Amino acid sequence: MILQQLRSAAFFVSNLVTGSIYLFIAWRWHGQALFADATAPRAWALAILVYIPVQVVTRLAVFLAVLAAYKLRGGQDDPSLEDEMDKAIDARMTRVLLNVVLLGLLAGLGAVAAGLPTYWLFVGIGAGIWLGAVVGDALMLIMYRRGL
């Protein structure tokens, strides 16, 4: 498998795993504060703000692990090289990711507007960020395998 495909597949799996583990940790960390109207904004804001650097660091660690495994197996692709196809795929992935995040925000706003508790707004934002990354990486893998 080509390095880019390996990286996309690893990111996809790591997003699923990290998101699930982090959701559990956030729930243990904040508990019922996530669901009470008075405390939900701060608890969710903290949970979401911490999740973003966690995701970035995890992706970096996963990339380094994938690269090490790839090189150990004799792979020759240059990991620092980014060409026009990578940029085109990245641009499409970013567009989809931002649309999913926006959709999550709108779904959260819609839920609150419909009378659901405030925490649904943050559920929408958090789900959008997580799902955006998962969908983006899946799309990236598909584009590397099937082309643009």
- Binding interface with another protein (CB under 8 A): 2-5, 76-78, 81-86, 144, 146-148
Residue 4 or 55: the one with the smaller Cβ distance to another protein is: 4
Minimum separation from the CB atom of position 139 to another protein (A): 15
Tokens of 112: 């609150």
Minimum separation from the CB atom of position 99 to another protein (A): 23
| Rg of the chain on CA atoms, in Å | 18
Give CA–CA dist 15/133, Å, rounded: 7
Residue 86 or 102: the one with the smaller Cβ distance to another protein is: 86
Question: Which single residue is written with the structure tokens 């004799």?
Answer: 74
**Contact call for residues 77 and 70 (beta carbons, < 8 A):** yes
Residue 57 or 82: the one with the smaller Cβ distance to another protein is: 82
Helix (H, G, I), strand (E, B) or coil at 48: helix
Give CA–CA dist 42/106, Å, rounded: 20
Minimum separation from the CB atom of position 105 to another protein (A): 33
Residue 13 or 142: the one with the smaller Cβ distance to another protein is: 142
Minimum separation from the CB atom of position 12 to another protein (A): 17
